[in-house]
Amino acid sequence: MAIIVTGQSELQALILDLAKWSSRKTVLQTFETGMKPMGKTMAADVRTRVLATPSKRSVSRRGRRSLRASIARATKSNTQQIGDAAILTVQVDPEDMPIEQGGLPALYEGLEAWIHPVFGHRPMVTQPPHPYFEPATRNAERDAVEIAEHCIDIIADDLEG
Protein backbone atom coordinates (compact mmCIF):
# COMPACT_ATOMS: atom_id res chain seq x y z
CA MET A 1 0.00 0.00 0.00
CA ALA A 2 1.53 3.30 -1.08
CA ILE A 3 0.15 6.64 0.05
CA ILE A 4 1.14 9.64 -2.03
CA VAL A 5 0.49 13.09 -0.57
CA THR A 6 0.61 16.03 -2.97
CA GLY A 7 -0.73 18.95 -0.95
CA GLN A 8 -1.66 20.33 2.43
CA SER A 9 -5.36 19.35 2.20
CA GLU A 10 -4.43 15.75 1.37
CA LEU A 11 -2.01 15.71 4.32
CA GLN A 12 -4.68 17.05 6.67
CA ALA A 13 -7.18 14.45 5.41
CA LEU A 14 -4.58 11.70 5.89
CA ILE A 15 -3.89 12.87 9.46
CA LEU A 16 -7.63 12.78 10.24
CA ASP A 17 -7.98 9.31 8.71
CA LEU A 18 -4.95 7.99 10.60
CA ALA A 19 -6.33 9.44 13.84
CA LYS A 20 -9.68 7.79 13.15
CA TRP A 21 -8.21 4.36 12.35
CA SER A 22 -5.58 4.45 15.06
CA SER A 23 -8.45 4.13 17.52
CA ARG A 24 -8.77 0.47 18.45
CA LYS A 25 -12.48 1.03 19.04
CA THR A 26 -13.09 2.18 15.45
CA VAL A 27 -11.25 -0.81 14.00
CA LEU A 28 -13.07 -3.25 16.29
CA GLN A 29 -16.43 -1.69 15.42
CA THR A 30 -15.64 -2.24 11.74
CA PHE A 31 -14.88 -5.91 12.35
CA GLU A 32 -17.90 -6.35 14.65
CA THR A 33 -20.19 -4.81 12.02
CA GLY A 34 -18.78 -7.18 9.42
CA MET A 35 -19.29 -10.23 11.64
CA LYS A 36 -22.93 -9.62 12.66
CA PRO A 37 -24.45 -10.87 9.37
CA MET A 38 -22.17 -13.92 9.50
CA GLY A 39 -23.40 -14.72 13.01
CA LYS A 40 -27.04 -14.42 11.99
CA THR A 41 -26.44 -16.68 8.99
CA MET A 42 -24.61 -19.27 11.08
CA ALA A 43 -27.35 -19.31 13.74
CA ALA A 44 -29.98 -19.74 11.02
CA ASP A 45 -27.94 -22.59 9.51
CA VAL A 46 -27.72 -24.31 12.92
CA ARG A 47 -31.50 -23.92 13.40
CA THR A 48 -32.20 -25.32 9.94
CA ARG A 49 -29.83 -28.23 10.47
CA VAL A 50 -31.25 -29.23 13.88
CA LEU A 51 -34.84 -29.00 12.62
CA ALA A 52 -33.90 -31.24 9.67
CA THR A 53 -32.82 -34.16 11.89
CA PRO A 54 -35.08 -37.24 11.71
CA SER A 55 -38.15 -37.28 13.95
CA LYS A 56 -41.23 -39.40 14.46
CA ARG A 57 -43.10 -36.25 15.56
CA SER A 58 -44.69 -38.09 18.51
CA VAL A 59 -43.93 -35.26 20.95
CA SER A 60 -45.58 -32.60 18.81
CA ARG A 61 -48.65 -34.83 18.43
CA ARG A 62 -48.92 -34.78 22.22
CA GLY A 63 -48.85 -30.97 22.15
CA ARG A 64 -45.34 -30.51 23.52
CA ARG A 65 -42.40 -28.73 21.95
CA SER A 66 -39.87 -31.14 20.50
CA LEU A 67 -36.22 -31.17 21.53
CA ARG A 68 -35.35 -30.03 18.01
CA ALA A 69 -37.66 -27.01 18.29
CA SER A 70 -36.27 -26.15 21.74
CA ILE A 71 -32.68 -26.30 20.46
CA ALA A 72 -33.56 -24.17 17.43
CA ARG A 73 -35.29 -21.59 19.63
CA ALA A 74 -32.29 -21.41 21.99
CA THR A 75 -29.73 -20.88 19.20
CA LYS A 76 -28.36 -17.35 19.25
CA SER A 77 -25.49 -15.32 17.86
CA ASN A 78 -23.72 -12.43 19.55
CA THR A 79 -20.87 -10.07 18.74
CA GLN A 80 -18.86 -8.19 21.34
CA GLN A 81 -15.57 -6.45 21.89
CA ILE A 82 -13.26 -7.84 24.55
CA GLY A 83 -9.88 -6.16 24.88
CA ASP A 84 -8.25 -6.10 21.45
CA ALA A 85 -10.66 -8.60 19.90
CA ALA A 86 -14.01 -8.46 18.17
CA ILE A 87 -15.66 -11.76 19.06
CA LEU A 88 -18.50 -13.63 17.38
CA THR A 89 -20.25 -16.42 19.27
CA VAL A 90 -22.95 -18.74 18.03
CA GLN A 91 -24.32 -20.99 20.73
CA VAL A 92 -27.28 -22.94 21.93
CA ASP A 93 -27.97 -21.13 25.19
CA PRO A 94 -28.76 -23.70 27.91
CA GLU A 95 -30.66 -21.05 29.87
CA ASP A 96 -33.15 -20.72 27.00
CA MET A 97 -33.89 -24.45 27.03
CA PRO A 98 -36.88 -25.84 28.97
CA ILE A 99 -36.26 -26.64 32.64
CA GLU A 100 -33.85 -29.53 33.17
CA GLN A 101 -33.02 -29.75 29.44
CA GLY A 102 -30.04 -27.38 29.34
CA GLY A 103 -27.53 -30.19 28.80
CA LEU A 104 -29.46 -31.94 26.03
CA PRO A 105 -28.18 -29.86 23.09
CA ALA A 106 -24.62 -31.03 23.80
CA LEU A 107 -25.76 -34.65 24.12
CA TYR A 108 -27.81 -34.37 20.92
CA GLU A 109 -24.75 -33.00 19.07
CA GLY A 110 -22.38 -35.37 20.90
CA LEU A 111 -19.75 -37.81 19.81
CA GLU A 112 -21.34 -40.90 21.37
CA ALA A 113 -24.78 -42.43 21.78
CA TRP A 114 -26.64 -41.33 24.89
CA ILE A 115 -29.20 -43.02 27.11
CA HIS A 116 -32.43 -41.40 28.26
CA PRO A 117 -35.89 -42.40 29.49
CA VAL A 118 -38.83 -42.29 27.10
CA PHE A 119 -40.95 -39.26 28.04
CA GLY A 120 -39.32 -39.22 31.48
CA HIS A 121 -40.23 -42.82 32.33
CA ARG A 122 -38.69 -46.24 31.95
CA PRO A 123 -37.63 -47.97 29.73
CA MET A 124 -34.29 -46.33 29.03
CA VAL A 125 -33.39 -46.11 25.36
CA THR A 126 -30.16 -45.46 23.51
CA GLN A 127 -30.19 -42.59 21.05
CA PRO A 128 -27.43 -41.92 18.54
CA PRO A 129 -26.10 -38.37 18.33
CA HIS A 130 -27.35 -36.14 15.52
CA PRO A 131 -24.54 -33.68 14.80
CA TYR A 132 -26.14 -30.41 13.80
CA PHE A 133 -23.84 -27.65 15.10
CA GLU A 134 -20.42 -28.59 13.71
CA PRO A 135 -21.69 -29.33 10.18
CA ALA A 136 -23.58 -26.03 10.11
CA THR A 137 -20.51 -24.03 11.21
CA ARG A 138 -17.84 -25.99 9.33
CA ASN A 139 -17.00 -23.14 6.93
CA ALA A 140 -16.94 -20.45 9.62
CA GLU A 141 -13.16 -20.03 9.59
CA ARG A 142 -13.08 -19.48 5.84
CA ASP A 143 -15.98 -17.00 6.06
CA ALA A 144 -14.33 -15.14 8.97
CA VAL A 145 -11.11 -14.74 6.98
CA GLU A 146 -13.10 -13.30 4.05
CA ILE A 147 -14.86 -10.84 6.39
CA ALA A 148 -11.53 -9.82 7.96
CA GLU A 149 -10.00 -9.24 4.53
CA HIS A 150 -13.04 -7.17 3.52
CA CYS A 151 -12.75 -5.05 6.71
CA ILE A 152 -9.04 -4.51 6.06
CA ASP A 153 -9.92 -3.39 2.52
CA ILE A 154 -12.47 -0.92 3.92
CA ILE A 155 -9.83 0.56 6.24
CA ALA A 156 -7.21 0.67 3.46
CA ASP A 157 -9.64 2.30 1.01
CA ASP A 158 -10.52 4.96 3.59
CA LEU A 159 -6.85 5.66 4.29
CA GLU A 160 -5.95 5.77 0.61
CA GLY A 161 -8.83 8.14 -0.09
Q: Which range is least confidently modeled, 21-25, 138-142, 157-161?
A: 21-25
Q: What angle do CA 88, 76, 69 make, to 5 degrees?
A: 150
Q: What is the three-state SS of 1-27?
A: CCCCCCCHHHHHHHHHHHHHHCCHHHH
Per-residue pLDDT tens for 15-73?
676 666 666 677 788 888 888 998 999 999 999 999 988 777 665 556 677 888 899 99
pLDDT for 127: 84
The domain ranges of the chain are: 27-97+135-160
pLDDT for 92: 92
Dihedral (CA of 98, 57, 126, 45) sign: negative
